[in-house]
């Protein structure tokens, strides 16, 4: 292999399991994006897109060597939809910033309305049924346990809902992420994607913190810049 191929497939071995640096770096970009999202910074979106692109290559087992484990179409597919919804969120937050102070937050956290909440929950449930059914019909290229289709559909659709809710500035998006992580972490551990599992477990703790930060901001009136200074000190 040439230098770029070796760099692309570079990996380390932990506990007898090979892990590409793409998986580690992709998740670190995801963590940076989550931190930027909590602080309502526009740069959170492009940073997240880079992480999604790297993780897509991991879960789709795209590499010059045989490393990569089982192809996980649900996990790979959601990276594609992350990128699509992140472009939408990037546009929304950038538009919100237009005409405001450079240090002003990109969005004001608030709860989704009853109708909005009913809409995204209904979409989530219906889409999970459709996605798991289509996955069974199409197949995933290997023989997974029966629960895999439901778990992957839950994660896939929930991730789309969470990213869209973040773009809209809804506090709900943190709660959606918790619901996704409760299924996603055990699945990743089962299939030995340990760096992703560890990062997602950390995300779960971070998400709880982020939820209360946004909840506090949504309840607080006054100058948004004061709130941002408080976030920096948190």
Read off the pLDDT of residues 97-129 as tens digits, 9 standing for 90 and up: 776 767 677 788 999 999 999 999 999 999 999
Please report which confidence band the pLDDT of residue 225 belongs to, taking 50, 70 and 90 as the band edges. very low
Neighbours of 132 (CB within 10 A): 21
3-class secondary-structure state, position 12? strand
Burial class (CB in 10 A: 0-12, 13-18, 19+), 195: buried
Please say whether the dihedral angle defined by the alpha carbons of residues 168, 169, 171 and 174, taken in this order, is positive or negative. positive
Please report which confidence band the pLDDT of residue 14 belongs to, taking 50, 70 and 90 as the band edges. low
- Read off the pLDDT of residues 169-224 as tens digits, 9 standing for 90 and up: 999 999 999 999 999 899 888 887 776 788 778 878 888 988 998 899 888 843 34
Q: What was the pLDDT predicted at 229? A: 43
The arithmetic mean of pLDDT across residues 123-145, rounded, is 87
Q: What was the pLDDT predicted at 136? A: 87
Half-sphere exposure of residue 210: CA atoms within 13 angstroms, side-chain side: 27
Q: What was the pLDDT predicted at 231? A: 43
How many percent of the chain have pLDDT more than 70? 80
CA distance 146 to 99: 52
Beta bridge partners of 141: none
Estimate the crossing angle of helix 73-97 against helix 114-138, to 10 degrees.
150
CA distance 184 to 176: 12
The arithmetic mean of pLDDT across residues 90-98, rounded, is 84
User: Which residues of the chain form beta strands (DSSP E)?
Assistant: 11-14, 17-20
């Amino acid at each position: 292999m040439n230098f770029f191929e070796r760099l692309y497939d570079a990996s380390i071995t932990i506990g007898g399991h090979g892990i590409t640096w793409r998986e580690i770096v992709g998740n670190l970009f995801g963590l940076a994006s989550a931190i930027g999202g909590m602080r309502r910074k526009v740069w959170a979106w492009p940073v997240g897109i880079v992480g999604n692109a790297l993780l897509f290559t991991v879960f789709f087992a795209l590499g010059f060597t045989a490393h990569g484990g089982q192809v996980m179409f649900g996990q790979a597919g959601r990276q594609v939809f992350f990128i699509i919804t992140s472009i939408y969120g990037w546009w929304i937050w950038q538009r919100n910033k237009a005409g405001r102070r450079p240090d002003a937050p990109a969005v004001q956290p608030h709860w989704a309305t009853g109708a909005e909440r009913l809409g995204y929950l209904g979409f989530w449930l219906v889409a999970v049924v459709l996605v798991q059914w289509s996955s069974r019909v199409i197949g995933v290229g290997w023989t997974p346990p029966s629960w895999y289709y439901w778990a992957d559909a839950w994660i896939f659709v929930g991730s789309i809902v969470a990213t869209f809710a973040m773009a809209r500035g809804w506090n709900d998006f943190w709660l959606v992420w918790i619901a996704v992580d409760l299924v996603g972490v055990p699945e990743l551990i089962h299939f030995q994607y340990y760096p992703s599992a560890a990062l997602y477990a950390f995300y779960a703790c971070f998400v709880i913190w982020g939820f209360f930060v946004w909840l506090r901001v949504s309840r607080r009136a006054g100058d948004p810049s004061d709130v941002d200074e408080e976030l920096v000190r948190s």
